[in-house]
Structure 1
């Protein structure tokens, strides 16, 4: 199995994600995949999260390497996806892949279209 990249997550995002996962109706295998990512993350105080790390509320530009398509989206909680046109839920397959990655990192993640490689091009800051 290929080694996944190191990820960093803030204590606030971790707490929110754990809270949301407990109440979600997501498929068990998807919840396990997210929990596995959270288990291997380096957890830091919110104030210590580097600016180039994707967090909840970050606007992020990423590339789907398999299709060479680039997107700019704001990573958000499921209930907040209606707040902006460019939002992507942290519980969408690609959204789950983004959390905790830094600019330049790539990850292989299971999506509805099979496993895809996602590369972080730029983290444009937080909207919340």
Structure 2
């Protein structure tokens, strides 16, 4: 019986497929605990739960410096307006309502987790529009700074 040749398929990320996701073990543990709290139970956390389920979990010391983790500050380009801005991905207790701090429990917060420099995300906003953000740089990442408790 003749053997068929193996075909190697290249994995590509399209606009409809989410980019690969990497999360530190510490962040994963803290986020799973957060999902069990009363504050999270009253919200739609399905997107965050789905992200955690599909994520590759790595030790904090092995986290690449170009990945958005909890408490990371990243610079983004709004591809619709051309505006650049910095945002920090935070736990709900640290979200103060300012535009530069995004709670992980907000829909955009769970979408930012695990993105890498160069990745883009799109999400709908009220009024039927969609915003597209591209990660330009990571200004601060706790793991890269050796701050594993933040």
Superposition TM-score tier, normalisation by shorter sequence:
0.7 to 0.9
Q: Which of 25, 31, 35 pairs up with 1:17?
A: 31
1:92 aligns with 2:109: no
- Per-residue deviation, 1:95: 1.7
* Structure-1 separation of matches of 2:106 and 2:18: 19
Superposition CA RMSD, Å: 2.2
Size of the aligned set, in residue pairs, is 124
More helix by share: 1
Q: Secondary structure at the match of 2:61?
A: helix
8 A contact 1:93–1:110 mirrored in 2: no
* Structure-2 separation of matches of 1:96 and 1:10: 14
More strand by share: 1
- Per-residue deviation, 1:85: 7.6
Q: Which of 33, 39, 54 pairs up with 2:68?
A: 54
Q: 1:45 to 1:89 in 2, by over 3 A?
A: same
1:104 aligns with 2:121: no
* Higher relative contact order (CA closer than 8 Å, sequence separation 6+): 1
Q: Secondary structure at the match of 1:2?
A: coil
- Deviation string for 1:82-117 (max 9, x for gaps)? 3x8832211222222111011001123344455432
Higher alpha-carbon deviation: 36-45 or 107-116:
107-116
Q: TM-score, normalised by structure 1?
A: 0.83
- Per-residue deviation, 1:126: 2.9
Question: Larger Cα Rg: Structure 1 or Structure 2?
Answer: 2
* Structure-2 separation of matches of 1:89 and 1:22: 16
8 A contact 1:97–1:118 mirrored in 2: no
* Structure-1 separation of matches of 2:115 and 2:56: 11
Q: 1:45 to 1:26 in 2, by over 3 A?
A: same
- Deviation string for 1:38-80 (max 9, x for gaps)? 2111110111111110011111111232333322011110101
Q: TM-score, normalised by structure 2?
A: 0.72
